[in-house]
Amino acid sequence: MASGSDLFDKALGELGMVLARVDQGAVDEACRILADARQIVFYGCGREALQMKGFAMRLFHLGLPVSVVGDMTTPALGRGDVFFASSGPGETTTVLTLMKVAHAARAKNLLVTAQPKASAADLADYMLVIPAQTMADDQGAQRSSVLPMGSVFEGALFLLSEIMVLKLKDMLGVSPEAMRARHTNME
């Protein structure tokens, strides 16, 4: 087994290579879609859900109208709203079902995935592709990451969301002080 330092270097290198292949024009357009949304509802499964909840929290700090599927305060979606889902493998059944619900309600489906030819892509109005290993391709010859299962996708999703927060902060003209003022005092 490689040393901890070697594994760290490999993992960081993988994340850098993945993020270097993300289409920056697509990221900018996704930011515009989020900035213009009447309401944004986030969803992801498993560890992707943790990344999406963190992203939703930062958008709340920016002053955007956000919620997460499953929270009691999540509103009904409709025209002018965005359902922002993460499905690295692109075949997550809950994501597929919720995207159909959002579509029927006339909300936009914004998808982040590693599999642009999977079923979820067919339901997306707009897609961000993170070209990283997920649980759809972590076995045998397809395996490309030192990290297990979908970890490289999840790590790249975190970093991509933070870059999108920076872009949205500038786009919306939100100060660091305004973001901090929206942070909870209940912790």
Q: Which residues form the catalytic set?
A: 154
Cα separation of 147 and 27, whole Å?
A: 25
Nearest to 112 by CA among 185, 22, 25, 187: 22
Residues near 113 by Cβ (< 8 Å), separated by ≥ 6? 86, 87, 88, 89, 90, 120, 121, 124, 127, 128, 129, 130
48-67 burial: b if 16+ Cβ within 10 Å, else e: bbebbebbbbbbbbbebebb
Cα separation of 61 and 39, whole Å?
A: 15
Radius of gyration over every alpha carbon of the chain, rounded to an integer in angstroms = 17
The token pair at 183 is 């942070």
Could you tell me the sign of the dihedral formed by the alpha carbons of 30, 80, 93, 47, in that order?
positive
